Amino acid sequence: MPPDLVARVRLLRTPSIGPITYRQLVARFGSAEAALDAVPDLARRGGGRMPALATEAQAEREIATVEKLGGRYLSIGQGLYPRLLAEADDAPPLLTVIGDLALLERPAVAMVGARNASAAACRFARSLAHELGQRGHVVVSGLARGIDTAAHEGALETGTIGVIAGGLDIFYPPENEALQRAVGERGLVVAEMPPGTEPRARHFPYRNRIIAGLCPGTIVVEAAPRSGSLITARLAAELGREVMAVPGSPLDPRAQGCNGLIRDGATLIQNASEVLEALRPGLGGVRSGRDLFDHVPQEAAPPEPDEAERRRVEELLGPSPAPVDEIVRLSGLEPGAVQLVLLELDLAGRLDRHAGGKVSLCLGGQLNGER
């Protein structure tokens, strides 16, 4: 097995190393193999226990399972890893995929909505996905019940990507097993989690960020307030992507989310032509990320912070999330030196990372769940 891939899997499957920490480690040390060698010393300097590194045997078993399933890995910065997704700060460093990789190089649009969608909304989503496919767009969704299912069905003949919350070998919901297999054979199935992972509630927002990240625009067909579909729309907006919504009756709670999005500035759409018009400024869309962070020249390492400087950074942290930029400003240190101290605390299990580039000190020194 390729040593670099084994090292990447080991690094990413190590507890407390999520996408942001992974990217910082590889950017700093130049490769996953070098980062693995550096982790023990970084954790020691952070004042905590070293995370138990995933073993070579564990990584090799996972890789063999993916290959047995007919899948392969996409590593950020290499090969066909999607450029638009790689723009997200917390983009998954590794994806496992089954199906037609050429779909990642075609223009794409995401379509999400309610699991308990109305028959009319499902019919509209199926028809809209079909027409978008006929006009050259890949339709990306989450293989859930309701709108997701309708979107995949409508675009199955022309090209669809299903992003799942569990491993490649897990079918959820169970009644969509045949659809997921069909998408894997005629489209593309994408997973962030390793094989064998049953989807849990915390996995679905991670899945949603991939759906939003793959596309220059996201369509919400039907969604209740505080639904997962609105999370996807918010993530798309945070990435600077187009958010589109289909209006619905104010008497139907399933339309409240879409109507609210439109009220807050989302583009109202009623047909494929309006979708394509909304996407026009951002077309040129999903291409491979061959020249991302793995291939940029390494920056010169910042001066090693001394103990007093480490204490200064740690004293600026507390249980409430604070922007990293503010910590840099208040500390008076070079940004690279502050990032190194944060990385050490992170690997020692003493730092939590939050959305929006914020960090906090982990009370009790518990391992964080950074994604």
Question: pLDDT: is 356 or 224 the higher one?
Answer: 224
Tens of pLDDT, residues 253-280: 999 999 999 999 999 999 999 999 999 8
User: Distance (Å, rounded) from C-alpha 151 to C-alpha 162?
Assistant: 10
Q: Which residues pair with 189 in a beta bridge?
A: 98, 162
Confidence tier at 189 by pLDDT (50, 70, 90): very high
Tens of pLDDT, residues 353-370: 887 789 999 875 443 444
> Is the model's pLDDT at 136 over the cut of 90?
yes
Both structure tokens of 93: 């460093």
**291-299 average pLDDT score:** 37
What is the structure's pLDDT at 355? Answer: 74
Residue burial 257-292, b: 16+ Cβ < 10 Å; e: rest: bbbebbeeebbebeebeebbebbeeeeebbebbeeb
Record the pTM.
0.86
> Is the model's pLDDT at 160 over the cut of 60?
yes
Confidence tier at 301 by pLDDT (50, 70, 90): low
Share of the chain above pLDDT 90, in %: 77
Which of 367, 370, 359, 347 minimizes the C-alpha distance to 41?
Answer: 347
Which of 64, 24, 41 minimizes the C-alpha distance to 335?
Answer: 24
Confidence tier at 295 by pLDDT (50, 70, 90): very low
| Amino acid at the residue 311 | R
Q: Are 196 and 58 in contact (CB under 8 A)?
A: no
Share of the chain above pLDDT 70, in %: 91
